[in-house]
Amino acid sequence: MSKITAVTTAVPPYVVEQSQARDFAAHLFKNRVTDIERLLPLFDNTGIKRRYFSRPIEWFEIDHSLQEKNNAYIEAATDLGAEACRLLFERAGITPDQIDYIVYINTTGLATPSIDARLINVLGLRTDIRRTPIWGLGCAGGAAALSHAHHYCLGHPDHRVLIVAVELCGLTFMPDDFSKSNLVATALFGEGASAVLVTGDQVAGDGLTVRATQSNFYADSLNVMGWNVQSRGLQVVFDKRIPDLIADNSAAELDVFLKQERLERDDIDQFLYHPGGMKVLEAYVAAYGVPDNHFRFSREILADYGNMSSVTVLFVLERYMREVGLKRDRYGVISALGPGFCSESLLVKL
């Protein structure tokens, strides 16, 4: 087995209240979208209070080249990732040279050398450290990284794995994209970073024990979620079918997953899920037939930070571990949906 020993988070400096984002969209989309007034209540119905960005709101009114956006990503992602890691080392009581393997997750910027290489230099990690940068998993990336680290630790039970995820979704914004998908992204997306320490079972220390993992891929669903890569940047793709896919598939998938561990839904104390949006969480509650409070932490993170792609589920996990700690007698499920279309899930002993 492996343990999720510690989780930390970091956010960029510019705070945007949801009312500001609504006014920004109303101004930008005015005279460009015929039914903009009908669509603006979307901002009020997201359940989001505020979000954080690496650039001030005025920056998004001007079109920026892919190069400008990417340079901004590299700079901010390195700084935020390092901030989250330093907090993690302090919280876990370890030093950088104790890390054996680093996994870097993102989908909102490109860098070669990858950001993990930059972090190795900035943080003073060992020069013989193993590393894997993973790009393109979108919102599923945080959960997928936990699963990747778990399976690595099964073969290296005396190792420590550092996961770093940084998503700067705002930098993908295109001010001349007047699609409904872009309007939805403007209402939902935020930015943030997280660092996670996953350790093998021969490493001393407490944590959430990972019992099992599960991946589900939906055939012929490539157009449900992702980016259209264009010469000027990454254009967001959202399909309104996502809540329907959850309604049709998620309960059966969960039951199969739990049955393999001889568990049932009543054995699950918390669903620590990526909150892609309010409709996504409502679809899960309805499909599972569980009380709203089983998704409390997901709702809180959505309200306080918005959808930060792969990072969001790690924010949910961090808040749970900080506020509740180890209970040792119950189970939780960590899960996220992402491009593919796919889901990544973990069963943990809380």
| Ranges of each domain in the chain | 2-200, 208-349
Q: Which amino acid is at 48?
A: I
Taken in order 337, 322, 49, 177, the sign of the CA dihedral is negative
Residue 34: what pLDDT?
67
Cα diameter, the chain: 62
* Average pLDDT value for residue range 250-264: 93
Pick the closest to residue 81 from 109, 46, 43, 42 (CA basis): 109
pLDDT digits (tens, 9 = 90+) for 135-174: 988 899 999 999 999 999 999 999 999 999 999 999 988 7
Task: Give the highest mean pLDDT range of 32-36, 80-84, 266-270, 292-296.
Answer: 80-84
CA gap 11, 348 in Å, rounded: 26
Report the percent of the chain where pLDDT is more than 90: 64
Confidence of residue 275 (pLDDT cuts 50, 70, 90): very high
Residue 29: what pLDDT?
78
Residue 32: what pLDDT?
67
Residue 323: what pLDDT?
94
pLDDT digits (tens, 9 = 90+) for 15-44: 999 999 998 888 887 766 667 777 788 888
* Average pLDDT value for residue range 177-186: 80
Q: Is the pLDDT of residue 106 over 70?
A: yes
Q: Which amino acid is at 172?
A: T
Q: Is the pLDDT of residue 225 over 90?
A: no
- For residues 189 and 307, the answer to whether their CB atoms sit within 8 Å is yes
* Average pLDDT value for residue range 183-206: 93
Confidence of residue 65 (pLDDT cuts 50, 70, 90): confident
Average pLDDT, the chain: 90
CATH number of this structure's domain 208-349 = 3.40.47.10
- For residues 246 and 280, the answer to whether their CB atoms sit within 8 Å is yes
Please list the alpha-helical segments (H only) found in 3-103: 18-29, 36-39, 41-44, 66-92
Q: Is the pLDDT of residue 4 over 70?
A: yes
Confidence of residue 243 (pLDDT cuts 50, 70, 90): confident
Confidence of residue 307 (pLDDT cuts 50, 70, 90): very high
Confidence of residue 181 (pLDDT cuts 50, 70, 90): confident
Report the percent of the chain where pLDDT is more than 70: 95
Q: Is the pLDDT of residue 276 over 90?
A: no
Q: Which distant-in-sequence residues (6+ apart) come within 8 Å of 299 by Cβ?
A: 47, 275, 281, 292
Among 85, 139, 153, 342, the one annotated catalytic: 139
Task: Look at the domain 2-200 and name its fold.
Answer: Peroxisomal Thiolase; Chain A, domain 1 (3.40.47)
For residue 17, what are the β-bridge partners? 50
Please confirm, yes or no, whether 139 is among the known catalytic residues. Answer: yes
**Shared fold status for 2-200 and 208-349:** yes
